[in-house]
Amino acid sequence: MGVGASIQSFKGRRQRSLALEVRDELERMILNGAIPGGERLNENTLAEQMGVSRGPVREAARSLEREGLVEAVANQGVFVRKLSVEEALELYDLRALIAGYLCAQLSNIVDSAIIRELRAFINDMDAAIAARDEQRYFETNLAFHDRIAAASGTTRAKTLYAALSKEVRLLRLRVLTGEASLRLSNAEHQQIVEAIESGDPDRAHEEGARHHSNGKKRLLETLSRDEEAPGESVVAEGIDKPASNCRMQRSN
């Protein structure tokens, strides 16, 4: 499936503008790693690939810029953001704060249906561990935290959490890996759900934040392990394209 087809096929009666479609597609490509960090987004090439003109591409780029996924330089273009380790650690801190807030808010309005849903995710993640399916764990983990955010009754905190989670993925490191880490992580999920169920906002905040702080620790461990063996760094989920189908780097 080509990039152009996916967007051009919607060109009939649509209520989502091309700029939005391009934005989503670009975001997907960036988070997938199809466009590596530091790479330039060539407006002409992308417009041609997606079968649209440069206008929507430029609008999409402005949108992504504010979201922190790309950086624009005047008269030079927009580049996929490259996270430094320090920036990534800061993002983990911020996400821990927001996650704590989300859990606390949810604990105030929690009902049994939500708890059941969250427990189902936890069971699914346990199953993924047993099946040694890390990709499935990864996706269910995302769904679990998204569900908490969606049910929290917040508006800005929810979108903020989503934005920070996307930004973190710029690091392109699979932090959650290995059966031991996965089991620990899911045990924390259990603690989070119990804290939310208890209806105690402080306890829910504590557990939600702690889980993400532990994530930061896991990141640090992964990084120090990579220091020792830089050759076999653990990369994130599958990359769609080799990205060299369009040469976007200006200099070598």
Partner DNA sequence: CAACAGAATAATGTTGACAATCTACAATTT
Partner DNA sequence: AAATTGTAGATTGTCAACATTATTCTGTTG
Q: How many residues does the chain have?
A: 252
Interatomic CA distance for residues 111 and 151, integer angstroms:
10
Query: Mask of contacts with DNA, 78-117, x by CB under 7 A?
Result: x---------------------------------------
Which strands, in side-by-side order, build the sheet including 77-80? 40-41, 77-80, 70-73
Using rule CB under 7 A, residue 75 touches DNA:
yes
Specify the residue, 78 or 170, whose C-beta has the smaller distance to DNA.
78
Residues β-bridged to residue 70: 80
Interatomic CA distance for residues 125 and 183, integer angstroms:
9
Using rule CB under 7 A, residue 3 touches DNA:
no
Using rule CB under 7 A, residue 54 touches DNA:
yes
Specify the residue, 89 or 234, whose C-beta has the smaller distance to a copy of itself.
89
Per CB under 7 A, the list member of 2, 5, 38, 53 interacting with DNA is 53
* Burial category of 147 from C-beta neighbours within 10 Å (exposed 0-12, middle 13-18, buried 19 and up): middle
The answer to whether 159 and 95 have CB atoms below 8 angstroms apart is no
Strand locations in the chain (E): 40-41, 70-73, 77-80
Interatomic CA distance for residues 117 and 120, integer angstroms:
5
The answer to whether 102 and 152 have CB atoms below 8 angstroms apart is yes
Using rule CB under 7 A, residue 4 touches DNA:
no
236's enclosing H/E stretch is none
Q: Which does 68 bind (CB under 5 to 8 A by kind): a copy of itself, DNA, none?
A: a copy of itself
Using rule CB under 7 A, residue 234 touches DNA:
no
Q: Which does 251 bind (CB under 5 to 8 A by kind): a copy of itself, DNA, none?
A: DNA
Query: Mask of contacts with a copy of itself, 62-81, x by CB under 8 A?
Result: xx-xxxx----xxxx-----
Site residues, DNA (CB under 7 A): 11-15, 17-19, 40-45, 51-56, 58, 72, 74-78, 250-251
Site residues, a copy of itself (CB under 8 A): 12-13, 15-17, 19-20, 55, 58-60, 62-63, 65-68, 73-76, 86-87, 90-91, 93-94, 97-98, 101, 154-157, 160, 164, 167
